[in-house]
Structure 1
């Protein structure tokens, strides 16, 4: 048995380093999630053949940028469908879609963001139906000004309306068997979504410390968020766990609204509870805090040192993590953490961080 961040997650590189990789290496890449506040690097990355999501988001821990690389296990096929750029092997599909809200006018009771979100998700579902990758593992959603209000409603709540409209329109479940996801705010940029899907059904994992997000009461918006706390996927001789964006929420309420250290502690308690549930359903109970790859979204840059110190204390070592400045879906949440983990029963190729 070999533990790894994930048999899909290959490497973390700067955008410049990613661009310098040889063609043969790039040909094995399903796609990448890239974060940089540098407009020049963004333009460099925009011309790449590899499906590459770019989010204008500042990296806080080291370096100017980061590309989270997802790798395939066989011959890759790539293409474009509508606004989606994708690549897939026989088992997994990675895609990116970017839709500016300026493409949509307010009307028919739907805001531009709501329409952009619904259109993006409808395009994703249509592509998966066409290519026969019916099962969604993971979504990453990035929205400008996520906490601001327009058209009488917070923008995150507008996003939730559009997302659920698309799920319902395509006959997909909005409770229970739903993918892992996160939704974070950037200072600018179009609606940007990346996703992983496949041909095996994942197991949706919930957290006994929390009400499932899709059952939140209406005080959090006219439609509940459509995601599970985690997805556990068996890919051949590997198991991969995708932990959704997790925060200091117990039941459905935010805890410790002004205390970033306490929020970090509560967030990690939630992730530990998700791991316990995943280990009950995994082939072997191998998922642990120290073996996760973390992406930590920090609302206030000044809180970084306290968050890192608390994470190291809880994990018991320096965690494998990157830190990004981002707005979180609730105004009183100071951080959000997502994670990925995996183990393989037979060695699978791929770079490790």
Structure 2
């Protein structure tokens, strides 16, 4: 039975019950909702210009607080926090994005410690011009540099027991970082088909990405699964460059491997593909029908997925899929 103290809500309407809202993000224009805005268009729908709100909600009371750019939503057992950071504020740094990333993560780590939810379960990261050059290094690699520096500065491990995460390129706008955290740590899960991201060779940048392939958290003794952004990578190399169909199939093989590894590590976290709620990021909008068809063929009639236009972290990747399970999904008009 899914845990009903944490619900995922997908809606094109602004939230009208803030008392139950446990935080979230808006893909598209957020208006006056106060939620962080990520410039990504929804794909495969008749009205792609409408905003898409990805929200967590709870049947238990939630408290909301705002400290400058930092927004916090407190649940008795978990917390959602998010902030938007303008890189221009660090224009004098060698890499404004690297410094903005470091500051964003330190701000969130400090907030989690202060609020008593010191265990991050899952991070979301969105940055503009992800493949652009900044101070002689790709911007995604500058982001990884700043993120890892913040982990180290906060005394947190960068190569074990790290949270799940994604990092995608938005069309414009500030750096947006959000986290779902709890009072008890999640179990980090790695994919036996892949080199752990934190062990990537230096070919991928001077600082490795700091995330686990998946994590499992608990509420009321029930597991929730958080799959990181997953793509067509085996070992540490991209496979099927230029072929979105094969990249999608390879991504699904990696998701299956993660589900199998999760069951091996934690038998009670037995989630089939059809139990997952998917977010699919696509570099090229015209690929959406084909990817949706392949995903439906693999998952079946119970597929729940949204599709967003985004730049995946590697320039040779065309599709990335993240997912979660163990909590109800609510769809609103």
TM-score scaled by length of structure 1? 0.89
Residue number in structure 1 paired with 2:14: 18
Question: Hey, what's the Cα distance between the residues in 1 that align with 2:210 and 2:134?
Answer: 22
**Contact 1:300/1:325 (CA < 8 Å) preserved in 2?**
yes
> Are 1:335 and 2:319 an aligned pair?
yes
Q: 1:141 to 1:273 in 2, by over 3 A?
A: same
Question: Hey, what's the Cα distance between the residues in 2 that align with 1:162 and 1:207?
Answer: 25
**Contact 1:72/1:88 (CA < 8 Å) preserved in 2?**
no
Question: Hey, what's the Cα distance between the residues in 2 that align with 1:71 and 1:120?
Answer: 24
> Are 1:102 and 2:85 an aligned pair?
no
Q: Kindly report the root-mean-square deviation, in angstroms, between the aligned alpha carbons of the 2 structures.
A: 1.6
Question: Hey, what's the Cα distance between the residues in 2 that align with 1:71 and 1:251?
Answer: 37
Of 211, 232, 237, the match for 2:216: 232
Deviation at 1:314, TM superposition (A): 1.3
Residue number in structure 2 paired with 1:30: 22
Output one character per residue of 1:98-145: Cα deviation in whole Å (capped at 9) or x when no partner. 1100000243xx400000000010101111111111100010000000
**Contact 1:73/1:89 (CA < 8 Å) preserved in 2?**
no
Of 161, 181, 191, the match for 1:197: 181
Question: Hey, what's the Cα distance between the residues in 1 that align with 2:329 and 2:255?
Answer: 25
Gaps of 5+ in 1: 344-349
Question: Hey, what's the Cα distance between the residues in 1 that align with 2:5 and 2:267?
Answer: 16
> Are 1:320 and 2:304 an aligned pair?
yes
Provide the secondary structure at the position in 2 that maps to 1:68.
strand
**Contact 2:9/2:330 (CA < 8 Å) preserved in 1?**
yes
Count residues in correspondence: 328
Of 120-129 and 76-85, more deviation after overlay is shown by 76-85
Residue number in structure 2 paired with 1:347: none
Of 176, 193, 207, the match for 1:209: 193
Gaps of 5+ in 2: none
TM-score scaled by length of structure 2? 0.94
Deviation at 1:174, TM superposition (A): 0.3
Deviation at 1:80, TM superposition (A): 2.3
Deviation at 1:258, TM superposition (A): 1.0
Question: Hey, what's the Cα distance between the residues in 2 that align with 1:264 and 1:95?
Answer: 31
Residue number in structure 2 paired with 1:54: 37
Q: 1:337 to 1:351 in 2, by over 3 A?
A: closer
Deviation at 1:234, TM superposition (A): 1.2
Question: Hey, what's the Cα distance between the residues in 2 that align with 1:60 and 1:144?
Answer: 19
